[in-house]
Every structure is written in structure tokens, then in C-alpha cells.
Structure 1
Amino acid sequence: MIKFTWKEANMGFNVLMYHEFREYNDLDRTKSSAISVAQQYQDALPKVLFSYLDDFKTQMNYLKTEGYHTLTLQEIKDFYEKGVKLPEKSVLLTFDDAFQSVYKYAYPILKEQQFHAVCFVVLGWLFQETKPFQIDQSTVMSKQELEKMRDVFELANHTTNLHMRYEGGRTQMQRVSLSELKEDLTECGEYVDSSDIFAYPFGIYQSDDVKRLAEIGVHYAFTTIPGLNTKETPLLELHRDTVTLGCTLEEFKRIVERS
């Protein structure tokens, strides 16, 4: 049984965000990685959003050795809605976009450590059939691959077809009507485990986006703004720290030990 301390009610929790993983010698840091998705959309993933596999192993080993508890989304809901205390050493692990390397590299490590994690899924990006893994591009999983990770991962909403960006720093989510946004998130919500928990595409949002999510019944939304989440953090503007390429163990410690 997890024991709680007085500090838990006052501190809150940190959230880590990952995207892609590669062996050190398989990654060319000078080039962006073209994405391969089922939807007709072309883009590239910046290399800063990758993690070296050895670094990820070291980070997860540190969490295990130091006795960290990996949170579920229900625990976060209970923290905000019911006042349930969180363990002092706890962290939410999130993985965006469901890239194949999460299944190939991160999933076995998380399973071995008996950790829990969340994958924010772009439903329209998932392939119906599994594609070959290629180190020089960022390929999204098939539904079959994603389903195999269910013993470690729970799935949350990252839109169905609105994860697209345009010049000027706007996303497709911001360009559609309120009814179209609701329809899109409802479709993804019917597939994932937590339909009312959302991550902003590319971390891009404005105050109008927050209002629109509230109108259509989204209760929690994660940004890419770093920081500790407390009782005072707006639920539709929750913080997440990006674990960037080459993140050292000391840098990682500063994130998870923030209070």
C-alpha cells in the first residue's frame, strides 16, 4: 500500500512528455524526421523531440530506484475532483502521437519496470496495417501495435484529424467550427480510454481554445508549458515538461524533483 505524507496535498505533480526514440548511432541530429501517418498530412518531427534509448533507460531506472510512482489519469482526476492525496514521489509519463518507436523501444522498458503511462493518440494517424519500422522517418503505429501496449498504456485524446499545423502558428483545431471540433474529439474519444482528457496539438493554444474545450465537455487539457501542476493550476492548461534530446540525468532530476 502506498503511504502518503503531509506534503502531498500541497505539492502536486510533474508530467513528462516524450515522442520518439532511437539508438544513439541511428539518429542524425542535423535533419528533421519526416512523419508517416495514415492521414493525408506531411510534416517533420524536430530532432529535439527525440530521446536516445540509453538516456531513456537511465531516466526510467532513476525513477524506479528512487521509488517514484507513475500516475494514472484517474489518480489525477481524483486529486482534483475528490481531494485524494498523491504520493510525494509521483510523476505522469506521457507519450504523444503514438510513434512506432514507443512500441519498439519504450514499451518494453516501461513494462519491465512495471510503470504506467499515457499515450495521446491522433486517431486519424493510426494505420490499419503495421508498417515496417524505419530509423530515418517517424512512422505512427497501427491500431494492432497500440492495442498490444494496453497493459502499460492508457490512451487519451489528441484529436482525430485536427493535428495539423500551418504557417503563422495555427493548427487545424483552431480553424474548425465548434461543432466540427466536438465531432472530431467525440470520434477520438470513442476509441481512447479517456475522452475528456486532451493534449493540445503541438502545444499550441489560445484563451479561445480553452473556452471551446470547456464548452464541449473536455475537463482536462495538457499544454507543453513546463512546470509543476498544483491544485491552483487551471485544468485546461496543465503543465508538461518536454524531455528533449540529450537530456542529462541531472537535468531530468531537476524536472521530476521540482516542488
Structure 2
Amino acid sequence: MLKKSYKLASILLLSSLVSGMSYAKSSAVILMYHHFGDDTPASTSVTLDQFEAHLDYLEQNNFNVWPLSKLIQQWQTNQDVPDKTVILTADDAYKSVYTEAYPRLKKLGWSITTFVNSEPIDKRFGNFMSWDQMREMQADGFEFANHTHTHTKMRPSNDETKQQMLERVRNELTLTQTRLQEELGEQANQNPKLFAYPYGEYSESAANLIAEMGYVSMSQVSGAVDKNSDRRALNRFPMAVNFAKIEDFALKVNTLPLPIRHQSPSDPLIQTNPPELTLKLSKPVKQLNCFNSLGQHLSMDWRSETEIMVKAKQALKPPRDRYACTAPAGQGRWYWFGQLWIIDK
């Protein structure tokens, strides 16, 4: 992989600026991948050159690459998380996780947490991993977790009641968790169990149910996390061709969580459009700016030095949008927080 190191020369200065800094001892950055390759959809893929550059950057700059379960266990037991800790995850269990990501990560002694849709695995669809391949990876320390059976959305459809939706959600997770345990043994039944929302979509009622079922859940909204983050929907930085350039990657893996004490609302299903988001911070943050997914500035109403209401200036367009808030954290690093919005109409 060192053949890619020349790409990093322009950004190594960033690491020298941030090394040795002391930040909150529980933060990490979680990355989300899907496909690894040059012939899969760009919207859900990183090229092999990009992925190798990512791994080179993490290796050369002494990042701690952990399994997701280790991060959650550190939080649960109130143990420190070292600065520059990164978690790699992959959604859907596509075959390229096995053919491309697995051998590269194995050489480095690192792993990736893969979220599995059990239906295409059971039906032996050709572009997905097999249970045998997962068992091979698991023997080398790689972990697999729940992503539903059919990749269904974790929010109400137009023709179902809230109760029907919750029953569907429970059945989907229970079926896949059963298949994971049957095929991969008790190691697949992590404590806590791990889950990633298909399409990154969910309602608060579904999130509450899934938490009650013993899961820590992952979203698809950019932002760093720490032990105070909402474990019903931990933010992850999506990695795809247009967002995975090495300069962007270096910026994202060095981010820190915005110090949020409380946010309202927490349900991504909006009731009024544009939605108002209130953030209460645990400490003042200077030069905070918030944007929608098009990069347009949001209205920002500071109610105190630690409380702000942000709102888009125009109605959000369906089906999804997000608010992102960032601020300089000092010496080249940034605070980064993302909030998902789901717009049905």
C-alpha cells in the first residue's frame, strides 16, 4: 500500500498539527462503506485506490482501528477511548467486503464490522457474501451484525399503522439475529447487539423499540460520536466515490463530536417543514455554522451562549435531507454533528 503514500504528502501536516492534543477520552469516528471496487455503483462504492489510500493514511498516522463492539464496550464500562480511534463498518454484506476489504485489512491486523441482510445471503445472491465466507472472516476476528432480513425501512409505510410497523421491525430483526446465531454462533450475539438502519431511515418509535430489544444502532448521517451520543442512532461518515477523496477522508477521521447536552426533536420524521432543531451544548463553541445537504446556510438563533435553534430558510425536499453543524475545534480539527430529516410530502 505504500505505493499510494505519495498521495498523502499534502495532508501529513494535518497530523503533525493534531498529534499529542488532549480531547474528550471517549470520542471516535465511525465510517460506513458498502462496495469496494471500480465497477460497482459510485453512490455506494469506494474505488480500490481510494480504499488503499484510506488504509495508508490510518496506518501512517497511527490511528487506532477498532471493531465497533470494542468501542461500545469501552463506553459501557467507562473506560477511555484513545484519541484518533476509527471504526470501519460495511452495510449489506456485499461480496467485495470478502474479496477486497478482508485481505487488505487482515494484513494490517484490523477488522471491519459488517451489517448483514440475511435474505440475500440465504438465497445465495451472487453479489453477496456466503455464510462460509463470513465464518472464515469471523475466525480472523471480523464481526457481523444485524441489518434486517429484507433491507426494509424502519418507519411506517403508507398502508400500515404504527403498531403494524413496530411488529414488522421486531420480526425483521429477530429473524436476522436468529440466522446470525445459527450460522456464526454465539459470537454474533454481541453484548450489546449491533444494528444498522437500512437506507439510514427510521422513526423514533422504531428506534425506541430496537433499543428496548438490546441493540445499539447506526445511522447514515455524518458526524463524530462519543459516549454521550444517542446510541439509538450513532452517526457514521458515509464513504463513497464523491465523498472519499483522501483530503476529505483525512478531515473526517480527525473530527470530534460537537459537545451536545440535549437536542430537540430527536425524531427524524418531520412534523413541520422546514424543521426547527434546538441544540443545547455542554460548553460554548465559537464559529459554529450549520448547513443543509446542498451546503446552504441555515438560520441560526442563539438563545444563550450554549443554546441555539437552527432552521432551513426553505422547505426541505423529499425524501431525505439533513442538517450539518461544524465548528473549528483547534489546531486543524473540527467539531461535526449531523441530523437526519425524513420528508414524506
Relative to the length of structure 1, the TM-score reads 0.77
Q: Would the alpha carbon gap of residues 146 and 72 (structure 1) be closer, same or farther in structure 2, given more than 3 Å must change?
A: same
How far apart are 1:182 and its partner, in Å?
2.4
Instruction: Summarize deviations over 1:182-218 as a string: whole Å, max 9, x none.
Output: 2331232231513721100110112122122123332
The answer for the alignment partner of 2:95 in structure 1 is 100
Q: Which residue of 2 aligns with 1:56?
A: 51
Matched, 1:223 2:181: no
Q: 1:155 aligns with which of 144, 157, 167?
A: 144
Q: Secondary structure at the match of 2:241?
A: coil
Query: How far has the Cα of 1:169 moved from its partner?
Result: 8.2
Report 1 or 2 for greater relative contact order, CA contacts < 8 Å, sequence distance ≥ 6: 1
- The answer to whether the aligner puts 1:21 opposite 2:43 as a matched pair is no
Residue aligned with 1:198, SS: strand
Counterpart in the other structure of 1:251: 248
What are the Cα deviations for residues 11-56 of structure 1, in whole angstroms up to 9, with x where unaligned?
5010000000223xxx3xxxxx6xxxxxxxxxxxx52111100110
Instruction: Give the Cα–Cα distance (whole angstroms) in 1 for the partners of residues 68 and 248 of structure 2.
Output: 25
Alignment partners' CA distance in 2, 1:77 and 1:6: 23
2:131 pairs with 1:143: yes
- Is 1:184 aligned to 2:172, yes or no? yes
Q: Is residue 2:211 matched to residue 1:207?
A: no
Unaligned runs of 5+ in 2: 1-19, 182-187, 257-345
Number of aligned residue pairs: give it: 223
CA contact (8 A) 1:128 1:143 kept: no
RMSD: 2.7
Is the contact made by 1:128 and 1:142 (CA closer than 8 Å) also made in structure 2?
no
Aligned position for 1:136? none
Which residue does 1:235 correspond to in 2?
Answer: 231
Match of 2:108 in 1: 113
Using the alignment, how far apart are the partners of 2:219 and 2:144 within structure 1?
Answer: 17
Given the alignment of the two structures, is residue 122 of structure 1 paired with residue 137 of structure 2, yes or no?
no
Counterpart AA for 2:106: K
Where do 5+ consecutive residues of structure 1 fail to align?
A: 28-32, 34-45, 132-138
In the superposition, relative to structure 1, how do residues 51 and 251 fare at CA in structure 2: closer, same or farther (>3 Å)?
same
